[in-house]
A and B are shown apart, each in its own frame.
Chain A
């Protein structure tokens, strides 16, 4: 079984992002970029499935600017076998990415498609679901455990109040949650090997996909700043302030 994993290049999780002063978006000039952490978890899981003998090949795909190659090389250093970059500088919204992935899935015919549950930059949490719908395949989102049992995929999900286990018919689409695994450290020899693994570059036109954004961003702004707290001398003042000023009791 082939596993196809989609990975996105996003602003690194350590970076404190800043909204551009003109309100058109987040300033990413000179900012460190890296693989979306949930996608990294998806890659790790796919590689573990391959190491267990469940999967035969792990293919990673990314859509975006040329620098996404670095993200794909990282995925291959974790253990993916080969990579595909859909090279475009256009704005990519989840629907467009899902359509690009659909075209690649149709060409590669993987038994399982994995994605991160959402990207930490736009927090859309849509691409996996849209892809499953476009492909008309079963989907399991927010996976915290995956097992292949008698040809079916058992996926455990963390839901309010407990765990839910789904049994999926393959081929299927699964999105990874935080506790699915802890990605390994990439080692220098594996980084070296990753540089030699095949990376194919396609253009959106090669896949016949229209990328036109369907959603328009009106404005991006920072959350309001929390005003400074005050110290109160005693409980009575606290209660009266909660009543008269905060109006919460």
Chain B
């Protein structure tokens, strides 16, 4: 039975009505909800706001570096310090390292482009910040529903978005109702704000339905794989921020590493791989593992213990890939639209700001008695904001890197170091990218295989022990939430032509090609391992894999990632 049939058989669904329904309790969604409630209190105009979150609690699915620029949170809560926001560790030093296989060259501070400067920023666990934002939101009267995944967009007969429906609960593997079956619920909003993060599965549908990306460059993504370590006291250098370029990426692959020293003896580190990579033999997970063995990286964590692991796709396309963010009845905020600043390697400030701008537009509309129309004041306010200026200055960053790392580094130097020295803040040219990430893979036979070193269990690890410490869980008896449009394509195209890239790009070991009893190949999908990074939905060469929301509460349970 499909979800639609279930509604026909067991429906109609119950519904609840709110002024604003927000999908996703991350920095963008919570900032939207918080700003709405702040305005409601300031202007004395009552309104109801709810936030749906597929994770078991706010922060459970949050994974980020993270160095946070406090510019947006200063605006949202000028008194965030008194409110106990977990921005505890100011950045104390910035190192930009260019790695070769054995060496590291530190870029002199005077030559380091402005986008790599992090003075005034904080090294944070974004998961902890989001948990705190959730508490602030609830304190202001926002209703947060963790453990409930938005599974379906609801439209009016006129085609405007009128809300979302949560997924059905208690379905068996084949989609049939079990004795615990609960029909999903409809949440109706005068406006529905989507804040699912990069490649949100509803955001993707909305972008397609309303052709929001028309005339924009295709969104460009990267996969960040991260670990959290506890290190010996003599290795801890709280506030140190290190970024690396070069090895282990080849010149045609976009990516880089980060090592951030948090407060206490905690170090968070990871490698980001551009999902426009060409070689299907490349494995972002194994690249990250071998990156840790570089002398300049291992020195930060040797003798320590790995505490956490996780992965998440990010939007890297920037301003030129940013879709139209509004449509009748709703809007996209944060990386559901794609506000991340890839040049500055941070997006949480942009997410918060976009949520605030959207909330201000939505509040004005609601106060004027409007509903279900386009919040056109939001994109207008964005164009006038510091966020637009920031993204505009960095708009060519990923586009240059699509031409290889040499061109990328050179042009970033020119745009972000040389021109500002000459008093030119905004690069006078604009570079467009035209190829979507999933079209970048070359056939496996044309590309060199990569021999990755075996994990040692001390510094480097395998996928399964990594997923284990992400505390990932999905109710076993439910339909797989990684769906195939055509079940024959994985073997016929992905395996035959591209050597089965999903078995390598998935950081959680969800996809395995195994032999059937008759000796033929088949794709086994271990959906229970899924950490909700969305890479398969992005990189699958024929876009045959579709990520849909599993039963609410499933997925990773990141602790302070």
Contact = CB atoms under 8 A, between A and B. Distances in A.
B473 A30 contact: no
A21 interface: yes
B264 to A, nearest CB: 9
Interface stretch (A114-122, A185-193, A208-216): A185-193
A189 B14 contact: yes
A15 B185 contact: no
A192 B180 contact: no
A191 B471 CA distance: 25
A15 B180 contact: no
Interface string B187-200: 10000000000000
B236 to A, nearest CB: 12
Given A14-B471, A185-B169, A185-B180, A32 B57 contact: yes
Contacts of B143: 192
A188 B148 contact: yes
Task: Classify chain B's interface size.
Answer: 20 to 34
Contacts of B473: 14
Contact of B128 (A30, A191, A228): A30
A14 B143 CA distance: 25
A16 B468 contact: yes
Given A29-B560, A30-B559, A32-B60, A15 B471 contact: yes
Nearest to A20: B230
Contact of A32 (B56, B128, B187): B56
Contact of B185 (A16, A18, A188): A188
Contacts, number: 56
Contacts of B16: 188-189, 192
A182 B57 contact: no
A16 B230 contact: no
Interface in B108-129: 125, 127-128
A12 B169 contact: no
A12 B56 contact: yes
Nearest to B560: A30
A134 interface: no
A239 interface: no
Given A32-B57, A32-B60, A185-B170, A15 B559 contact: yes
Given A14-B471, A18-B307, A30-B559, A187 B182 contact: yes
Contacts of A15: 471, 557, 559
A192 B127 CA distance: 26
A184 B557 contact: no
Nearest to A67: B135
A185 B182 contact: yes
Interface in B131-182: 131, 143, 145, 148, 166, 169-170, 180, 182
A34 B471 CA distance: 14
A189 B187 CA distance: 11
A187 B305 CA distance: 40
Nearest to B86: A30
A31 interface: yes
A32 B180 contact: no
A15 B308 CA distance: 11
Interface in A198-245: 228
B133 to A, nearest CB: 14
A187 B14 CA distance: 10
A9 to B, nearest CB: 13
A182 B180 contact: yes
Q: Kindly name the residue among A18, A32, A189 whose own CB sees the greatest number of chain B CB atoms within 10 A.
A: A32
A228 B468 CA distance: 17
A30 B125 contact: yes
A188 B557 contact: no
A183 to B, nearest CB: 9
10 contacts: A12-B56, A15-B557, A18-B307, A21-B230, A21-B305, A30-B125, A30-B127, A30-B560, A188-B16, A188-B187
Interface of B: 14, 16, 56-57, 59-60, 125, 127-128, 131, 143, 145, 148, 166, 169-170, 180, 182, 185, 187, 230, 265, 305, 307, 457, 468-469, 471-473, 557, 559-560
Interface of A: 12, 14-16, 18, 21, 29-32, 34, 182, 184-185, 187-189, 191-192, 228
The list of the 3 closest CB pairs from A to B, nearest first, reads: A30-B560, A14-B473, A185-B169
Given A15-B471, A192-B143, 19 more contacts: A12-B471, A12-B557, A14-B56, A14-B557, A18-B307, A21-B265, A29-B560, A30-B59, A30-B125, A30-B128, A32-B557, A184-B180, A185-B169, A188-B148, A188-B187, A189-B14, A189-B16, A189-B185, A191-B145
